[in-house]
Amino acid sequence: MQKKIAAVHDISGFGRCSLTTAIAVLSACGHQCCPVPSAVLSAHTAYEGITYRDLTEDLPAYVHSFETLGLRFDAIYSGYLSSGRQIEQVVRLAENCAAERCITLIDPVMGDNGKPYTVAQNASFIGDMRELCRHADVITPNTTEVAMLLGENPRSFSEDRAGIENAMRRLAALGPRDIIVTGLHENGRIGAAYFCAATDQSGFCFAGEVPAYFPGTGDLFASVLLGVLLRDGQSLQSSTCQAVEFIHDCAQYTLEQGTPPIDGVQFECLLDHLIKQ
């Protein structure tokens, strides 16, 4: 049967990221994506002069409506959250609206490139996010977020393989079963590492690095990863590597098209790759 995902994330009118990406990707993978918007923006935050409306006050009634309808989701997926109050609603969804064998995937959106986002510039929010990760089956932090979750300085975090392996095991101690660390750089390649606490298996997936920075690739990676994981018979390794390869293909295609990197990667014309898989 078709899988249903409750996706708690912001939505931007322009710029490929967050719910705009998740809905398209998860649909291409054959699943039903049910958006739970945490904020509405005219464009993503790399642009100037945007509008932003926080939806914290709306979320409790929104989630209550799902509960009243008796909805049960095969996955709970959270991305950008603006406060501890929003984090509480993700936990509420996971506790009251999860189907049997539900996958809870938390992308702990708190920073990138060694810098915390504004929302995560206080210890309270980081602590709330760390607590949310205890409820997760899968977390997908980048290296900046790994350091923040572990209480370390993001600017001095080491990306060598031994250090990443150690960090993933420490993150597993917080509670999540599977850890995927994104945005790793190695010998002109970019990719991700994965660790399954249940089997004690880990590994790395890399693809060629494209010489441009595209906002929103973290959202795209998490969406592809979840979409593939929800397909029967897909392993953590296979799902991680497919997500890495898809991001690379989209980035390379976008570079060839010559559109502004700030607009994000052109994944739309490559969604058939996910459908065929």
Q: Each residue of 143-172: pLDDT tens digit?
A: 999 999 999 998 888 889 999 999 999 999
Q: Which CATH number does the domain housing residue 259 bear?
A: 3.40.1190.20
pLDDT in tens, 203-219: 999 999 999 999 999 99
Model pLDDT, residue 155: 85
Mean pLDDT throughout 236-245? 97
pLDDT exceeds 80 at position 201: yes
Query: Can you tell me the distance from the alpha carbon of 124 to that of 130, in angstroms, rounded to the nearest whole number?
Result: 10
Model pLDDT, residue 157: 82
Q: Provide the domain limits for residue 53.
A: 4-276
Cβ(247)–Cβ(265) below 8 Å: yes
Model pLDDT, residue 193: 98
Query: Which of the pair, 123 or 59, is modelled with greater confidence?
Result: 59
What's the predicted TM-score (pTM) here?
0.96
Query: Can you tell me the distance from the alpha carbon of 202 to that of 94, in angstroms, rounded to the nearest whole number?
Result: 26
CA 238 to chain centroid, in Å, comes to 17
pLDDT exceeds 80 at position 17: yes
Query: Can you tell me the distance from the alpha carbon of 205 to that of 214, in angstroms, rounded to the nearest whole number?
Result: 19
What tokens does 175 get? 């509670």
Q: Can you point out the beta strands (E) in the chain?
A: 4-12, 32-41, 52-54, 73-78, 98-106, 111-112, 115-116, 138-139, 178-186, 189-196, 201-208
Question: DSSP character for 232?
Answer: T
How crowded is the C-beta side of 275, counted as CA atoms within 13 Å?
9
SS3 of 15, please?
coil
Question: DSSP character for 226?
Answer: H
Query: Can you tell me the distance from the alpha carbon of 241 to that of 231, in angstroms, rounded to the nearest whole number?
Result: 15
Query: Can you tell me the distance from the alpha carbon of 229 to that of 239, in angstroms, rounded to the nearest whole number?
Result: 6
Mean pLDDT throughout 139-144? 97
Distances (CA, A) of 135 to 131, 148, 175, 181, 217: 7, 18, 7, 18, 24
Model pLDDT, residue 1: 86
Rounded percentage of the chain residues whose pLDDT exceeds 90: 93
What confidence tier does 64 reach under pLDDT thresholds 50, 70, 90?
A: very high
Rounded percentage of the chain residues whose pLDDT exceeds 70: 100
Gyration radius from the chain CA atoms: 17
Among residues 245, 242, 214, 205, the alpha carbon closest in space to that of 226 is found at 242
Which amino acid, residue 32? Q
Query: Which letter, b or e, does each residue of 12-48 get, where b requires 16 or more Cβ atoms within 10 Å of its Cβ?
Result: beebbbbbbbbbbbbbbbebebbbbbbbebebbbbee
Model pLDDT, residue 122: 87
Model pLDDT, residue 85: 97
What confidence tier does 108 reach under pLDDT thresholds 50, 70, 90?
A: very high
Angle at 172 between CA 108 and CA 185, to 5 degrees: 60
Q: Is 238 exposed, middle or buried (0-12, 13-18, 19+ CB in 10 A)?
A: middle
